[in-house]
Amino acid sequence: MKTPIPDEDLRRGELSDATRRSIFEGKISELDWEIARILYRINERYNISNASFFKSLDLGRAVLVLTRGEAGLLIGKDGKIVSELSSALGRKVRIAEVGGDVKKSVADVIMPTRLLGINQVFHEGREITKVRIAKSEIAHLPIDIPTLEKALRSLIGHEVQLVFE
């Protein structure tokens, strides 16, 4: 299984000096370490060795787990993997795919809210992604609006603006 934490660290259950340095420098987070350890244990029971865990984002009440591969591998059959991960962390867990279809990734993050559309806008030399959501769906957002914008910014890689129509 691919994680930002070296396999040797996961096998031993402790961080190497190089991994500690990466955490100190902000390349990976303590949450990444915790999730990688949990997924390593889950991999012993369920075969998720083809899964890819890229990065995690702490969203307060929830955790967003980003994958570069098939998101379904980290969700598991009937949601078993994500459910176990959620139980171990004590928080709700969302899985989203990075680098694939942006619309699908955004829809995964804001689920159960319905996505109206996504627009790319170029303003004063910078790219802004406008995520359009129906006003009537605001109550169904999984997390608060500023945290959601932060999560989407990390997912997409540039500025995001939520628009409620």
pLDDT at 18: 92
pTM here is 0.80
When pLDDT is cut at 50, 70 and 90, the band that residue 26 belongs to is confident
Asked which of 99, 114, 140 is the last residue of a domain, the reply is 99
- Lowest-pLDDT range, 17-21, 63-67, 104-108? 104-108
162: Cβ–Cβ under 8 A, 6 or more apart, which residues?
A: 130, 131, 133, 145, 148, 149, 152
110-144 pLDDT, tens per residue? Answer: 888 899 999 999 988 888 999 999 999 898 888 88
Asked which of 99, 125, 152 is the last residue of a domain, the reply is 99
CATH for 80: 3.30.300.20
Percent of the chain at pLDDT > 90 equals 39
49-79 pLDDT, tens per residue? Answer: 888 898 898 887 889 898 887 888 889 889 9
Do both 42 and 107 map to the same domain? no
Do both 17 and 83 map to the same domain? yes
Percent of the chain at pLDDT > 70 equals 100
Phi and psi angles of residue 157, each rounded to the nearest 5 degrees, phi first: 100, 0
**Is the pLDDT assigned to residue 100 strictly greater than 80?**
no
pLDDT at 136: 92
Asked which of 47, 75, 99 is the last residue of a domain, the reply is 99
> What is the tally of structural domains in the chain?
2
Averaged confidence pLDDT in the chain: 89
Region 89-113: mean pLDDT is 85
Tabulate helix, strand, coil % of the chain (nearest 5).
Answer: 45, 25, 30
Do both 119 and 94 map to the same domain? no
Do both 62 and 138 map to the same domain? no
pLDDT at 71: 83
What's the domain range around 107?
A: 101-165
